[in-house]
Amino acid sequence: MKPETKAKAPSMSKPEEYEAIGVPAEWVEPLQALGYTTIDKLKEVEKPGKLANDLNGYKKKNKLDLPGLSPEVVSDWIKS
pLDDT of residue 36: 94
For the chain of 80 residues, list the mean pLDDT of each consecutive stretch of 10: 66 91 95 94 94 96 94 92
Model's pTM, two decimal places? Answer: 0.82
Q: Are 78 and 42 in contact (CB under 8 A)?
A: yes
Q: Are 21 and 77 in contact (CB under 8 A)?
A: yes
Q: What is the pLDDT of residues 52-63, one digit of tens each?
A: 999 999 999 999
Q: Are 43 and 31 in contact (CB under 8 A)?
A: no
pLDDT of residue 31: 95
pLDDT of residue 6: 66
Q: Are 13 and 39 in contact (CB under 8 A)?
A: yes
pLDDT of residue 29: 95
Q: What are phi and psi of 36, to 5 degrees?
A: -90, 70
